[in-house]
């Protein structure tokens, strides 16, 4: 089975549409979203609608949970809070109900899908280093592969015996590895081969949407430098 893995769209419709078009050239069996459809960007309603149309599975991210009223905004920085508060005015009741019902984890064959970490997904911790990954390998048994988002940084960690891996697929809408191109992943469950896909999109238009919405300038300007 060939799985397309997208994550951290963050209401960036331009990046999402670009990557969906790119993925049309791949023979995909399933498409999954690892969370954070909303937050930061200016098209949350449109992005949730597209995810519902294209994704077979979607996991709850912390920004999705905040918009749905599941976690409190006090845990977010000022930029994130302002975007969530603005998004509350534009996301439809139907799409809000969809966000509220998203699962924290999902399994496909021996693949575990989660936004943050296999160990205590609702704590919204990060996997930045191999030291972070080690306790999470133990938590993902018997899964051999786990795909995550949350940090917006594409990275792969393998267990000491190479039997397990944790892969961050990167961010569709707000990359933070100083590469502004949108990022996602492809995984083959038979060969266990994984690859990242990077694609250029209209950053200028995405940034202008943020400015037009009256959201903080920082949320627009960071898109140009991928941070």
DSSP per-residue letters across 103-139 = -SEEEETTEEEESS-SSSGGG-----SHHHHHHHHHH
Tell whether the model's pLDDT for residue 112 goes beyond 90: yes
Asked if 51 and 75 count as a contact pair (C-beta separation under 8 A), the reply is: no
Instruction: Give the pLDDT of residue 210.
Output: 98
Give mean pLDDT, residues 19-32. 97
- 46-99 confidence digits (pLDDT tens): 999 999 999 999 999 999 999 999 999 998 999 999 999 999 999 999 999 999
Q: How crowded is residue 70: how many other Cβ atoms within 10 Å of its Cβ?
A: 14
Query: Which domains are present in the chain?
Result: 2-106+170-225 (3.60.21.10)
Give mean pLDDT, residues 32-47. 98
Instruction: Give the pLDDT of residue 141.
Output: 85
Tell whether the model's pLDDT for residue 116 goes beyond 90: yes
With b for 16 or more beta-carbon neighbours within 10 A and e for fewer, the 93-132 pattern comes to eebbebbeebebbbebeebbbbbbbbbebeeeeebeeeeb
Tell whether the model's pLDDT for residue 174 goes beyond 90: yes
pLDDT > 70 fraction of the chain, expressed in percent and rounded: 100
Q: Strand 145-148 and strand 165-168: pairing?
A: parallel
**203 pLDDT tier (thresholds 50, 70, 90):** very high
DSSP per-residue letters across 30-65 = EEEE-S--SSSSS-HHHHHHHHHHH-SEEPPPHHHH
**133 pLDDT tier (thresholds 50, 70, 90):** very high
């Amino acid at each position: 089975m060939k799985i397309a893995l997208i994550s951290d769209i963050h209401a960036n419709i331009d990046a999402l549409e670009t990557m969906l078009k790119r993925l049309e050239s791949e023979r995909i069996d399933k498409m999954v979203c690892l969370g954070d459809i909303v937050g930061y960007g200016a098209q949350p309603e449109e992005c949730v609608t597209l995810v519902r149309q294209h994704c077979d599975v979607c996991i709850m991210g912390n920004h999705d949970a905040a918009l749905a009223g599941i976690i409190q905004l006090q845990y977010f920085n000022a930029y994130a809070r302002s975007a969530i508060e603005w998004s509350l005015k534009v996301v439809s009741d139907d799409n809000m109900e969809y966000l509220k019902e998203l699962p924290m984890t999902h399994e496909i064959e021996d693949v575990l899908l989660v936004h943050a970490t296999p160990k205590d997904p609702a704590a919204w911790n990060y996997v930045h280093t191999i030291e972070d990954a080690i306790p999470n390998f133990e938590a993902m048994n018997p899964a051999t592969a786990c795909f995550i988002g949350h940090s917006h940084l594409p990275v792969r960690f393998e267990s000491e015996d190479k039997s397990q891996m944790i892969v961050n697929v990167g961010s569709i809408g707000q990359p933070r590895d100083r590469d502004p191109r949108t990022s996602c992943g492809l995984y083959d469950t038979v060969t266990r081969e994984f690859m990242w896909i990077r694609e250029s999109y209209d950053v200028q238009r995405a940034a202008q949407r943020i400015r037009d919405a009256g959201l903080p300038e920082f949320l627009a300007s960071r898109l140009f430098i991928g941070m």
